[in-house]
Amino acid sequence: MSSPDLRKYMNKKLLLQLNGDRKLVGILRGYDAFLNVVLDNPIQVFDDGEVQIGPQTVVRGNSIISIEPLDSL
């Protein structure tokens, strides 16, 4: 299994589309071969607003549907 190459996204703000129709925005601080990612300053995005969910969070790779950069690369 080849590992994902997210180096160009390190320290950039990303939008993660997750299963269960969830969205997270945060700054990518780390990842592994299974696409588990560490986000700083994660914000869960809802249709009617946003909610800060903590200073840092880990998102399991199997729950990520897509990753979209919000900062220029």
In angstroms, the CA 1 to CA 43 distance is 31
Q: What digits encode the pLDDT tens for the residues 19-40? A: 999 999 999 999 999 999 999 9
The topology under which CATH files domain 10-69 is SH3 type barrels. (2.30.30)
What is the reported pLDDT for 1? 61
Other C-beta atoms lying within 10 Å of the C-beta of residue 27: 18
C-alpha distances (whole Å) from 62 to each of 36, 44, 48, 68, 69 are 8, 18, 26, 16, 19
**For the chain, what are the domain ranges?**
10-69
> Model's pTM, two decimal places?
0.86
Indicate if the pLDDT at residue 4 is higher than 90: no
Share of the chain above pLDDT 70, in %: 99
